[in-house]
């Protein structure tokens, strides 16, 4: 699929923001006062900034609020409900910590659960799509959740936890790539099933269905070369996992901690670009692009 910048920004920033909110919510001794304000300000800037960026991919951003009304059937709607609930509850939790020095633990735990729920519902927007075999796997929500938890631990200064979660997330990422490379072939989808003519014999494309690119081709058919994809995977893996782990294993300094965070964010953004660029939507079969 076409990797729209707004969607990449959304999935990168919101995952990190809600991951940080999760750790702040379950912290038995959360930061208060000025430090509490700084941590929550960073978390809200990431989470809200990511959510707002997602609206720029809509044809009518002013109607985005309507997506929340279909929560019974839509993962997008469930994402919106979870996000708003998490931000509101954790807003009260944060205000009590910052201005009153009061820790309302049960609000923190509810907000933390809703934060993870937001990341999970985001992942299921993609993970439930049978039209993209690479995405339709339990590894997709696992990928989103481990990235969010690892990034949140990194941002909140939990070095030992971040190291363990980065290693786990790296394993999930490798498994997701390995499984994804075979997903379209193993799905049994081909030009015959794409056109509905497979029962009549082998279907071959004699000419493209359209003489010029149409909406479907622009939005759902994006081809990234294998050679370039592997190079980008290496860059994404190094930035997301290897460099942050190297910085975290060095003697602690604020400079190394900042470099670990910056490297991780850049790596997650690169990984998210590949997530969409390598999607292999089955509509590409109809247009002879797979």
Q: Residue 79 and residue 71: Cα distance in Å, rounded?
A: 8
Higher pLDDT, 163 or 189: 163
Higher pLDDT, 226 or 171: 171
Q: Assess whether pLDDT exceeds 70 at residue 102.
A: yes
Q: Residue 271 and residue 199: Cα distance in Å, rounded?
A: 39
In the predicted model, what is the mean pLDDT of residues 111-118? 97
In the predicted model, what is the mean pLDDT of residues 265-285? 87
Q: Assess whether pLDDT exceeds 70 at residue 80.
A: yes
Higher pLDDT, 271 or 205: 271
pLDDT tier at 188, thresholds 50, 70, 90: confident
Q: Which two tokens stand for residue 33?
A: 């006062």
Q: Assess whether pLDDT exceeds 70 at residue 219.
A: no
Q: Residue 139 and residue 146: Cα distance in Å, rounded?
A: 10
Phi, psi of 253 (to 5 degrees): -155, 150
Higher pLDDT, 151 or 61: 151
Q: Assess whether pLDDT exceeds 80 at residue 197.
A: no
Please compute Rg for the chain using Cα positions: 21
Higher pLDDT, 1 or 162: 162
What pLDDT is attached to residue 151?
97
Q: Assess whether pLDDT exceeds 60 at residue 213.
A: yes
Burial of 288 (0-12, 13-18, 19+ CB in 10 A): middle
What pLDDT is attached to residue 208?
65
Task: Choose the weakest-confidence range: 17-31, 42-56, 117-131, 154-168.
Answer: 42-56
In the predicted model, what is the mean pLDDT of the chain?
86
For residue 151, give the H/E element and its range.
helix 139-155
Higher pLDDT, 250 or 193: 250
What share of the chain in percent tops pLDDT 70? 81
What pLDDT is attached to residue 11?
84
pLDDT tier at 243, thresholds 50, 70, 90: very high
């Amino acid at each position: 699929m076409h990797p729209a910048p707004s969607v990449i920004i959304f999935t990168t920033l919101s995952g990190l923001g809600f991951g940080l909110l999760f750790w702040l919510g379950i912290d038995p001794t959360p930061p208060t006062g000025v430090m509490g304000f700084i941590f929550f300000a960073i978390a809200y800037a990431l989470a809200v900034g990511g959510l707002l960026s997602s609206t720029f991919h809509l044809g009518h951003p002013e109607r985005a609020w309507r997506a929340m009304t279909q929560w019974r059937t839509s993962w997008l709607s469930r994402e919106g409900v979870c996000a708003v609930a998490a931000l509101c509850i954790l807003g009260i939790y944060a205000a009590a910590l910052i201005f009153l020095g009061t820790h309302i633990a049960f609000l923190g735990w509810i907000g933390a659960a809703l934060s993870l729920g937001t990341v999970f519902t985001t992942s299921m927007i993609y993970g439930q799509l049978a039209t993209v075999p690479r995405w339709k796997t339990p590894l997709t929500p696992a990928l989103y959740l481990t990235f969010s938890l690892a990034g949140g631990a990194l941002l909140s200064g939990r070095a030992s936890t971040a190291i363990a979660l980065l290693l786990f997330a790296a394993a999930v990422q490798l498994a997701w790539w390995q499984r994804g490379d075979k997903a379209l072939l193993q799905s049994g989808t081909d030009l015959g099933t794409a056109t509905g003519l497979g029962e009549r014999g082998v279907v071959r494309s004699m000419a493209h269905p359209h003489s010029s690119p149409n909406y479907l081709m622009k939005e759902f058919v994006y081809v990234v070369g294998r050679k370039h994809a592997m190079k980008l995977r290496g860059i994404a893996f190094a930035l997301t996992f290897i460099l942050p782990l190297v910085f975290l294993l060095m003697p602690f300094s604020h400079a190394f901690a900042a470099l670990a965070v910056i490297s991780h964010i850049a790596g997650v953004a690169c990984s998210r670009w590949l997530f969409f660029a390598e999607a292999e939507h089955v509509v590409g079969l109809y247009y002879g692009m797979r």
